[in-house]
Structure 1
Amino acid sequence: MTASASDVPLSEQVAYLKLALELHTLDVPDIVQWADAQIRDQTNPAYALIELALMGESNRFDTANQLLRIARPSMTTAELLPYVLADAHKMLLDNPGFARALAEGMYQVWARDNGSFTEALALCGYFDDAYDLARAGINATVDQINQELLAFTGGFLNWDWMKRCGAAEKSQSD
């Protein structure tokens, strides 16, 4: 999932991690694991990074706030969202029960940042309400919404964060 500090700028990694945490494609232990790797790679890690590595029992909100103490995200939500949605698609294939948590996270991100979203990302605000309506027996079934969400996230499969990180590493070595 995550790349080392030599692959992409720390500010981009923090942006990706924070958004992935918000959309539930990563959990707090994943962020702690990333922080541990950063500490191993650095000779004098920042205190904020050490604190993050100790947050294994913390909630998503506190962990996301701690990430912001490490670096200011240098990519917007709209720039990163396709990468996280590609990861979400893979998770949905393995665990369809993940759909509701993803829909809630997408709605929260959409409500906060939708002014910067392209038309391709506009559906992020749809799925949370669609699940509520489906559970109430209005308009569609939960299975139909699951399929719509899977189709939506599948549209981002060509956005691969690890390939992007590899491309950044290659351009740094050129």
Structure 2
Amino acid sequence: MQPSEIADVLNRPISRELLARDLTRLAYVAKDGTPRAIPIAFVWNGSEIVMCTVKNAPKLPALRHNPAVALTIDTEVHPPKILLIRGRAELDVVEGIPDEYLQMNGTYTMTAEQRVEWEANVRSLYDGMVRIVVTPTWAKLIDFETTLPSAIEELARQRDERNRGA
């Protein structure tokens, strides 16, 4: 996909709504060769998906070995809205707590006092984290109104061709 095509998908209103959500599902290949898909908090900074994890997370050796990833951000209603993204994970080890980690946890309902306590607990637990940064190299939005999964698009095209021939 060309960067302009990716930007077109990611700048659609539904995509922007999905990119403002809290969780994505990160898919990658584990060191043993088996697939993994995990929920993980994220922040969209306008050009990259940023996720943060602990420095000893089992996914990090796998991502160093094979940085190819896929992300799914979706809704829980019918029809679902689904944003699919592919890219490569870049790992950035940082000292302290990345700003993105504090941002991505900012949408949970907490009182001001709970927020202060939570942040103090986080800072006491982690001496550093790893930012997992994904720049999209491919993107598709499925909203079941204007866009469909490619297999369903193909079936609809075949049906329309049959109906034209009848």
Same fold (TM over 0.5): no
TM-score of the two chains, using structure 2 as the length reference: 0.30
Greater strand content: 2
- Bigger-Rg structure (1/2): 2
